[in-house]
Amino acid sequence: MKDNSNIGPHTTSARRNFVKGAAGLLGIVGMSSALGQPAAAGPAAPAPESEAGNPAVSPRGGGPPDCRATASFQSSIPEAIRVLTQYFAALSDRNLDGMSQQLHYPFVTYEGRDGVLVETREQLISNPPLSMNVTGKGGSKLKPGAYDILDSIQAHVFSPVGAGLSLQYNRFDRAGSLILTCHGLYGITNNDGKWGIEWMSTIFKPANQIGRDDSYNDLIIDSALHENHRDHVMARKSGDLPELRRTVMDPYPHGSVSLGPSPVPGAPPGTSPEYRSDGIKSRLRYSKGDTQEEMARQNFGQGQFSANSGGSLGNWSLSIETPDTGVLFASAEKGHFRSGYFRYTEEGSIISEHRYIGALVNWKGNWYGNDISRIVGQVVYHDRAKDVPS
């Protein structure tokens, strides 16, 4: 993928302008480019005897692990659930100080459509975003005497250094009547040994609106999601740079968190030889909004993309969404989604499978939130270059 500050131009089509395509979708350059490149070919090496039956140990060597490796979930899932549980407990207790301890700084929170950057704990305490304001002062989603009850926590994506989770809870007034349901997405990462929330997005829905989006807004967002993926892939195949740029445009403030391998200090630019947390202070990429000028400078590695994305398995020819791509929760202005894609060679062999979660926002009839500009991810779920040839 690429740096979020280099994504492209605005377009006027409401549905075709949802930007869920480009750089990260097909693993272009930047934020987690190493995740998008299968391991180089190499001779099969026998695993140590204690690991001989463990398919997580790549017999083909090289490259970061995919999600078959136990290291990809053994710490990240329990730690992410712990952090999110403690965050919700503090929220339920209306304890802003407790909430602040479960966060990384800076972090980004999507308050409605706006990507709000909170750079320090002091900023959070003095001016908490709307969804996090439990102080009783200023704008808030809280009524006096309201209380919250946890509904569910789900893990959607994971890697050795982080996880993407959703949390849903119900808010009741003091008389016990349901007033709001909140669905949140959270990117939780290990930065320099601390597990904390680095990315979040919340959708609050009034009680009498629960379930009504299933037959309306969900369908609109689903359509935008699928159409943009198709348009992006076709632009990539044909080398249509203007169309490629259109599918990654995000002109409004946005941020994403990478769960891919972080660059090792001193490593050559563009390389990410391993997952690591020590010395990593932030995995957040934030932009105040993409410009036409920035977009015009991008070619998204088009000349090398096919070979780089196929690696040892052959040239990339096509990407198709995973079957579970779809909306998790939606309103008129924003949708939370889960997505991913398979890469294929010309003769139909699967190269790899990638996954991520994110938020789509509606600005003036256009949907923004491509797979690098407003996401938690990406992760390589299954790198087929690591499999033993049959």
For the chain, give the number of residues. Answer: 390
Is 203 among the domain residues? yes
Alpha carbons 160 and 74: distance in angstroms, whole number: 8
pLDDT for the residue numbered 194: 97
Is 138 among the domain residues? yes
Is the backbone of residue 51 left (phi > 0), alpha (psi -120 to 50) or beta? alpha
SS (H, E, C) 281-300: CCCEEEECCCCHHHHHCCCC
**Closest to 230 measured CA to CA, from 36, 6, 375, 18:** 18
Please list the pLDDT of the chain residue by residue as tens digits (390 residues). 333 333 333 333 333 333 333 333 333 323 332 223 333 333 333 333 334 444 444 445 456 789 999 999 999 999 999 999 999 999 999 999 999 999 999 999 999 888 999 999 999 999 999 999 999 998 899 999 999 999 999 999 999 999 999 999 999 999 999 999 999 999 999 999 999 999 999 999 999 888 777 777 888 888 888 888 899 999 999 999 999 999 888 999 999 999 987 665 555 555 555 688 888 899 999 999 999 999 999 888 899 999 989 988 999 999 999 999 999 999 989 999 999 999 999 999 999 999 999 999 999 988 898 877 899 998 999 999 888 776
Is 231 among the domain residues? no
**Domain containing residue 199: CATH number:** 3.10.450.50
With H, G, I as helix, E, B as strand and everything else as coil, classify residue 13. Answer: coil
With H, G, I as helix, E, B as strand and everything else as coil, classify residue 1. Answer: coil
Alpha carbons 231 and 234: distance in angstroms, whole number: 5
**Closest to 171 measured CA to CA, from 203, 193, 199, 200:** 203
Is 3 among the domain residues? no
pLDDT for the residue numbered 18: 32
Q: How many Cα atoms within 13 Å fall on the side-chain side of residue 2?
A: 26
Main-chain dihedrals φ then ψ at residue 368, nearest 5 degrees: -125, 150
Its domain, for residue 121, covers 76-211
Is 333 among the domain residues? no
Is 362 among the domain residues? no
pLDDT for the residue numbered 272: 59
Residues β-bridged to residue 353:
342, 382
Query: How many domains is the chain partitioned into structurally?
Result: 1
CA 348 from centroid of its chain's CA atoms? 27
Is 316 among the domain residues? no
Is 321 among the domain residues? no
